[in-house]
Amino acid sequence: MPISPAEKIWHNGKLIPWNDAKIHIMSHVVNYGSSVFEGVRCYLQPGGPAIFRAAEHAQRLLDSAKIYRIEHKYSREDIVNAMVEVVGVNGIFPCYIRPLIFRGYGEVGVNPKGSPTEVYIANYSWGKYLGHGNPEEGVDVCISSWNRLAPNTMPAMAKAGANYMNSQLIKMEAIANGYVEGIGLDVNGYVSEGSGENLFLVKNGTIITAPLGCSVLPGITRDSVLKLAKDLGIPLVEQMIPREMLYIADEVFFSGTAAEITPINSVDRIVVGKGNAGPITRALQKDFYDIVHGKVADRYNWFTPVPVKQTVGV
C-alpha cells in the first residue's frame, strides 16, 4: 500500500515538514540496520480519534531500544505525547503511526557508539493489511522454508528493523508461491509466527498460541486477544505447537496491529475447518472491533484520545 504523505513528522522533539525527514546514506542505520520501531493504529471513534494502546506500544519501543543498547532521552510519556501531537497536527485519522529510534550519521563501523540517536514519529493513512476489507475474509498461507530467528542470534522480543529482514524473506517467498502470508517455524521446528503477525489456533474449543520462547514478538494485539478470550470465557493456553496442528485445527487466525484479527482459510493448501472464519475467531473479532470502533465502552482503558477540532476520515 503506497504511503500517503502527511504535513508534519515529529523529529527529536520538534515537528518538521514531511519532506525534510531525511537521513544521510552513510547513517549507521542504513549500513547496519540499527533501528527499532513500532506500528500503532489510531482509530476514529464517535468521540473523535484515539490511539490504540499507545502506552504499551511506547514501552515496547523503549524496551527494544534498551535491548539493542540504543541510548536516548525520551520517556514512555514523551513518546505517547509525541504520537498524540503528530496525529493531531496532521489531522489524518484513522491512521497508522510509525515511531522510529535509530542510529544516525556519525561513524562507520559495526560499533555503533559514535553515531547519534535519531527519533522520528510519522503517521499516515493505511487500511486493511491482509485481505480486502471484510474482517471475516480469511487468507491462504504457507509454512515458510525460512525459520524464525534462533535464540542467541538476534533478540526476537525486540521489534528491530534488522530482524525484519527475516520477515521479508518469509513474506516474499509466500507471495512468490501464490500465498498471502507465510508462517515461520522456530529453530526446533515448532510454530512461531507470521512475517509480521502473531498466530493462534483453535482446537476443541481451546485457543492455543506459541509462547514467547518460540521466537515470538510480544505483540500488543496478541496481548489484547489474551484478555478478550479470558473475558469471553474461552480457554486459552500457551504451548509449543507442532506444524501439523495447523492442518488439523478447527480455526487459525493472525493477530497484529496491521492485521488486527485476520482468519486463516488454509495452510499449505490444506483447508482449515470449513475454510472460513470460525465461531471463536468471529467472537473475538466482534468484541475487538466493537471496542476499537467505539461501539462499546473501552473497558480496558486501551485508548488515548487525540484532541482535534474536527475529524477527517480516510
Residues whose CB is less than 8 angstroms from the CB of residue 277 and which lie 6 or more positions away in sequence, other chains included: 136, 138, 251, 253, 263, 285
Bridge partner residues of 40 (DSSP): 97
State residue 308's pLDDT score.
83
* 190/151 Cα distance (integer angstroms): 13
Beta carbons of 51 and 97 less than 8 angstroms apart: yes
Give the 3-state secondary structure of 81-141: HHHHHHHHHHCCCCEEEEEEEEECCCCCCCCCCCCCEEEEEEEECCCCCCCCCCCCCCEEE
* 134/136 Cα distance (integer angstroms): 5
Q: Which residues of 75-92 are buried (b: 16+ CB within 10 A; e: fewer)?
A: ebeebbbbbbbbbbbbbb
Q: Could you give the C-alpha distances from 273 to 178, 233, 247, in angstroms and in order?
A: 21, 21, 9
Look at residue 100 and tell me whether its pLDDT is greater than 80. Answer: yes
State residue 126's pLDDT score.
82
> What average pLDDT does the segment 79-86 reach?
98
- 283 Ramachandran zone, left/alpha/beta (phi>0; psi -120 to 50): alpha
State residue 130's pLDDT score.
72
Q: How confident is the model at residue 95 (pLDDT cuts 50, 70, 90)?
A: very high
Residues whose CB is less than 8 angstroms from the CB of residue 104 and which lie 6 or more positions away in sequence, other chains included: 23, 24, 27, 28, 29, 115, 116, 117, 118
Mean pLDDT of all residues belonging to the chain = 95
Of the candidates 22, 66, 159, 230, the residue annotated as catalytic is 159
State residue 115's pLDDT score.
97
Span 249-302, pLDDT tens digits: 999 999 999 999 999 999 999 999 999 999 999 999 999 999 999 999 999 999
- All 3 cell numbers of residue 59? 514501552
Quote the DSSP letter at residue 147. Answer: P
Q: Which residues of 279-302 are buried (b: 16+ CB within 10 A; e: fewer)?
A: ebbbebbbbbeebbebeeeeeeeb
Closest-CA residue to 266 (of 283, 285, 251, 284): 251
Which percentage of the chain shows pLDDT scores above 70? 96
Q: Is 159 a catalytic residue?
A: yes
> What average pLDDT does the segment 50-76 reach?
98
Q: How confident is the model at residue 33 (pLDDT cuts 50, 70, 90)?
A: very high
For the chain, domains (ranges, CATH) are 8-127 (3.30.470.10), 139-292 (3.20.10.10)
Beta carbons of 306 and 51 less than 8 angstroms apart: yes
Q: Is the peptide bond before 94 cis (omega within 30 degrees of 0)?
A: yes
